[in-house]
Amino acid sequence: MSRQFTASPASDEAYALGEGPVWDPARRRLLWVDIDAGAVHEGRLDLATGKVDAVAAHTFGGTVGAVAVSAAGDLVVAEREVLTRVDTAGRRTELARVLPPGVRSRLNDGAVDPAGRFLIGSMALDDREGREVLARLDGTACVVLDDDLTLSNGLAWSPGGDRLYSIDSTPHVVWERDYDPVTGKTGPRREAFRLTGGMPDGMCADAEGNLWIAVFGGGRVECRDPGGRLLATVEVDAPNVTCPAFAGPDLDVLVITTAGGGAGAAGRSGAGRLFTARVGVRGLATPYWVPPRS
């Protein structure tokens, strides 16, 4: 029988489309994005209460799909079509264009690989299927890993970094492939498993190599082993759960972002808020992004 947990509301503010929480241990801060508002938020996690207090924000002119942080505190931000560096003084520099100008797509979820390279996926903004990408930023060049996706989403690596998991939300598929954590070379993509009862969205891995997957439309986070067996469920008082991440000095607090509104939101006060839960395991440390040399 799988374990059952219930997440607690962690933020007073509700976000239109909260996503992509990232723990920055050097500065003991939590980062996350509000995609539709075009904002990267910074907050403090209270370990005693599980509450998250927003303390700063960076705003952009369009959508913001994901954020990652370097050891020095610089950010890489996935704007609608390009990746932008924001240094600690707030200066912004375009690093790379991932999507062609004006395409009916936007950048979506991203994560840092074991060597510090940033991976980012895209999603269609119309009914096109099978044309979206998963790309990796190598220096200032983008290397395309997949070009046949519809809604590229959560990314996670095995504890040794030798396996990459990635989600294509529309067909509800979790993919896996061999991954060289030093060179980034990948093996053939293969289906690991599929989810039902909601759309798989963001994802993270714990120190035991299991996957924690947000179920958009399902009001929960599921923990599954790499073969797809359900190990635990975290119930969330919001229908559209978007992404989990382990945070805190011991990586033992599961932070969960959600989206506001949507079907099933009526009577659920948590829609759009951040949540936290203690689930009895620790997460994998998120590698710092390594910026390209100037």
Residues with catalytic annotation?
201
Paired with 107 in beta bridges are 122
Q: What is the maximum alpha-carbon separation in the chain? A: 52
Helix %, strand %, coil % for the chain, to 5? 0, 55, 45
Query: In degrees rounded to 5, what are phi and psi of residue 68?
Result: -140, 165
**CB neighbour class for 82 (10 Å; exposed up to 12, middle 13-18, buried from 19):** middle
Tell me if residue 5 falls in helix, strand or coil.
Answer: strand
Answer yes or no: are the C-beta atoms of 33 and 66 closer than 8 Å: yes
Other residues' Cβ atoms within 10 Å of the Cβ of residue 134? 27
Paired with 194 in beta bridges are 173
The H or E element containing residue 164 is: strand 163-168
Residues 33, 257: Cα–Cα separation, whole Å: 9
Residue-wise over 220-250: b if at least 16 C-beta within 10 A, else e? Answer: bbbbbebeeeebbbbebbbbbbbbbbbbbee
Cα(first)–Cα(last) distance of the chain, in Å?
Answer: 52
Tell me if residue 115 falls in helix, strand or coil.
Answer: coil
